[in-house]
Amino acid sequence: MASPVTIRSISFEKPDVRAFLDVPFPIYRDDPNWVAPLYLERFDHFNPKKNPYFLHADVQMFIAERDGKPVGRITAQACRLRKERYNDGVGQFGFLEAPDDPEVFRALLEAAAAWLKTRGYTRLQGPFNFSINDEMGMLIDGFDTPPNMLMGHGRRYYPARMDALGFVKAKDVIAYDYEIAKPLPRAMQAMYEKALDSSDLVIRPFEKKHMARDLDIVISIFNDAWSDNWGFVPFTREELTKLGNDLKMLVSNNYIAIATWKGAPAAMAVSLPNLNDWITGLNGRLLPFGWAQLAWGLLAKPPKSVRMPLMGVRKEYHGTLVGSALAIGVIDTVKKFHQGRGTAHGELSWILEDNMPMRRLIEQLGGKPYKTYRIYEKAIA
């Protein structure tokens, strides 16, 4: 008979965070598609002084133990921005990792629910690591390939464990694989060229020398374009600043495209190198030689694949030919840059399952759905 599962609340002190980050390694020991995140980046993510998410949210980390040894982990988080926007009683969980053991899953999720209940929440929803603007969702389809940058992986038994505990689907999101060399369909190309010929449509790269200006444009378009999406929470000024610092290190100007229509910013697309191509096999550590591998990837050669995590067209153009031309334009501009450097694949993610206009556009461009992530929810007893 197995010994009982105990749950331990942990702090944001470095030894506790390190123990939390170590939990997944034995769980994925025999999974060749799992990519260990870099400890350096994860320590910053869990640092309330460095991650602006903590300015508007409270978080508690939990570790599940058997015989004093960590076997699972979870976070519970109460986001004030989300509560102000929806006031629906929903609190969130994230970073769930556990062996194929129903008692560990039960204990972790009950701990997160109990912590949220004391704060007045009535439903538990997740996973979010930490917010909808971070890594989110539990993989339910697409286990046979590694995840792209800032996208999750998981074990095949995870969804069954959630189902067994009475969790139900709140929403699915889709990741699309896109062959960068694939040309635009003829009809799309003709529509796009007609819009370009009018001189009303102008597309330019991001300009790092005007970082604050262009970040404001990108996030203003995002916060407008996505504002009606399920679960949307806007980026804050502090999150915008951190995003700028991250982009400064990771990308060149042409990774991002900004489109104007009749002189006003109207659409944008942001791509990122898939760092997972470079950090696979490092086990989360840059020392002693991992830093050289990462630097070589960042500075000396183009990425094998990229991800487009942000793309948006202002709401006033949704459902119009202008909107379609804007979307095609920023996607195609970024695509041509990466194609010219020899990058073969891109991931367009994530896309809400019921965002049919965007899904149809991506599929017309040649994108193919290859991973599905699920947000689960359950009433807090």
- The partner residues of 256 in beta bridges, in order of sequence, read 270
The secondary structure of residue 52, as a DSSP letter, is G
Q: Which two tokens stand for residue 20?
A: 């939390």
The widest CA-to-CA distance across the chain, in whole angstroms, is 74
Distance, CA of 107 to CA of 5 (rounded, Å):
7
pLDDT value of residue 348: 96
Position 291 scores a pLDDT of 54
Residue 289 has φ and ψ, to the nearest 5°, of -120, -5
Count each helix (H run) and each strand (E run) in the chain, helices first.
13, 15
Q: What percent of the chain has pLDDT over 70?
A: 95
Q: Which of 34, 111, 126 lies closest to 65 in space, CA to CA?
A: 111
Q: Which residues of 348-378 are buried (b: 16+ CB within 10 A; e: fewer)?
A: bbbbbbebeebbebbeebbbebbbbbbbbbb
How far does CA 150 lie from the centroid of its chain? 5
Taken in order 301, 302, 305, 311, is the CA torsion positive or negative?
positive
Dump pLDDT digits (tens) for 298-355: 556 788 899 999 999 999 999 999 999 999 999 999 999 999 999 999 999 999 999 9
Distance CA 224, CA 206 (A): 19
The rounded distance, in Å, linking the Cα atoms of 316 and 224 is: 9
Provide φ and ψ at 179, rounded to 5°: -80, 115
Residues 6+ apart with CB under 8 A from 88: 123
DSSP state for residue 119 in the 8-state scheme: T
Domains of the chain: 6-174 (3.40.630.30), 181-343 (3.40.630.30)
What contacts 169, CB < 8 A, 6 or more positions away? 374, 375, 376
Sequence-distant (≥ 6) Cβ neighbours of residue 60 within 8 angstroms: 9, 75, 76, 77, 112, 115
- What does the alpha-carbon distance between residue 202 and residue 190 come to, in Å, rounded to a whole number? 16
- The first and second tokens of residue 130, run together, are 């930490």
In terms of Cβ atoms closer than 10 Å to its own Cβ (0-12, 13-18, 19+), residue 241 is middle
In tens digits, the chain (381 residues) has pLDDT values of: 578 999 999 999 999 999 999 999 999 999 999 999 989 889 999 999 999 999 999 999 999 999 999 999 999 999 999 999 999 999 999 999 999 999 999 999 999 999 999 999 999 999 999 999 999 999 999 999 999 999 999 999 999 999 999 999 999 999 999 999 998 889 888 888 888 888 899 999 999 999 999 999 999 999 999 999 999 999 998 998 888 888 887 889 999 999 999 999 999 999 999 988 877 777 776 544 455 555 555 556 788 899 999 999 999 999 999 999 999 999 999 999 999 999 999 999 999 999 999 999 999 999 999 999 999 999 998
